[in-house]
Amino acid sequence: MKKLYITVLALLALGLYTFETKAQQDAQYTQYMYNTLSINPAYAGSRDVFSFVGLYRSQWVGLEGAPRSFTASAHSPVGKKVGLGLNITRDEIFIAQETYIDVDFSYTLDVSDEGKLALGLKGGLHLLDIDTDRLNTGPFNPGDPQAQINIDNKLSPQIGAGVYYYTQKFYLGISAPNFIETEHFDESSNSNNSSATAKERVNYYLMTGYTFDVTENLKFKPAFLLKYVDGAPLGADLSANFLIHEKLTLGAAYRWSAAFSGLVGFQITDQLMLGLAYDRETTELQQYNDGSYEVFLRFELFNKKKRMISPRFF
């Protein structure tokens, strides 16, 4: 099947998964500015209210076995200094499925009249499943022992950390969601001859953004995300969003040597926000898919006294 063959070649070429993976990257989102907790535990509690975000991403639509991701996170301040959060992420990439369950803790220091510095820790579990029994069509031979590489719901621990500085208009964060480089082995091999099928690598993130008041009813926020993992290309996202009348958000983004994106968001009520994003590849892969889609929903719980007069853009 030509479609399946193209998918496998694309995934192998991009290094998401190979039978002896050199580097494995965490999922990356176009609307990362609303999904900060998944990569930086210091973000927990920073919005000063209980905040829930659900985000779904379907990548390279039209390619069989292309990546799909779903993440749900909730966080809230606990007292004046402490923030707690919970993040659950599910990734599906061709023959592989991953689930992340993390608990986040942050402690915030007042470093100036307007600035706050949060220190965060993340701990949790990673569940990995690789099933090569799905390679039953196309150029693969189901009876080939070289293709029988399986990892059955393998659990591994995760420990990460982050730093997050922010004011009402500016933020800067540095983080590593997981410091533990776990090697996953082919469970179908003999213990004496098994080789690593997949290896977790440390992913480092740097993100920053600023909100400019263009007019009373128009705000402009450029944002930047840099991602580094050993053995993979450096990832960089640059986005620019406009907030109109504190209701409608319109923006565009560029992922270095990968894609252009369009973003739109709407503050349905004071508590509920809906956002959409569409990516179009700039690589040769664009001729084999219809782009990538994201949708997110944010719900925040606060009383009228606590409501922010001018809600933060991040």
Per the DSSP assignment, residues forming a β-bridge with 127 are 99, 155
Interval 169-206: pLDDT, tens: 999 999 999 998 877 665 555 445 555 556 678 999 99
Reading the block at residue 188, the tokens are: 């179908």
In this predicted structure, the answer to whether residue 310 has a pLDDT above a threshold of 70 is no
Question: What pLDDT is recorded for position 16?
Answer: 44
246 by Cβ neighbours in 10 Å (0-12 / 13-18 / 19+) ranks as middle
Question: What pLDDT is recorded for position 116?
Answer: 97
| Share of residues in the chain with pLDDT > 70 (%) | 78
* Residues 35, 314: Cα–Cα separation, whole Å: 9
**DSSP strand E in 16-67: where?**
50-58
End-to-end CA distance of the chain: 44
Comparing C-alpha atoms, which of 239, 217, 246, 223 is closest to residue 170? 223
Reading the block at residue 28, the tokens are: 């990356």
* Residues 87, 175: Cα–Cα separation, whole Å: 15
Interval 58-67: pLDDT, tens: 999 998 889 9
* Residue predicted with more confidence, 241 or 28: 241
pLDDT band at 266 (very low <50, low <70, confident <90, very high): very high
Question: What pLDDT is recorded for position 170?
Answer: 96
pTM of the model: 0.85
SS3 label, residue 169? coil
Interval 34-79: pLDDT, tens: 999 999 999 999 999 999 999 999 999 998 889 999 999 999 999 8
Interval 269-278: pLDDT, tens: 999 999 999 9
Per the DSSP assignment, residues forming a β-bridge with 37 are none
Q: Going from the N-terminus, what domains does the chain have, and what CATH number goes with each? A: 27-140+147-180+198-301 (2.40.160.40)
* Residues 80, 46: Cα–Cα separation, whole Å: 11
Comparing C-alpha atoms, which of 306, 240, 217 is closest to residue 30? 240
Averaged pLDDT for residues 296-302:
92
* Mean pLDDT value across the chain: 84
pLDDT band at 154 (very low <50, low <70, confident <90, very high): confident
Within a 10 A sphere around the Cβ of 195, how many other Cβ atoms? 11
Percentages helix, strand, coil for the chain, rounded to the nearest 5? 10, 55, 35
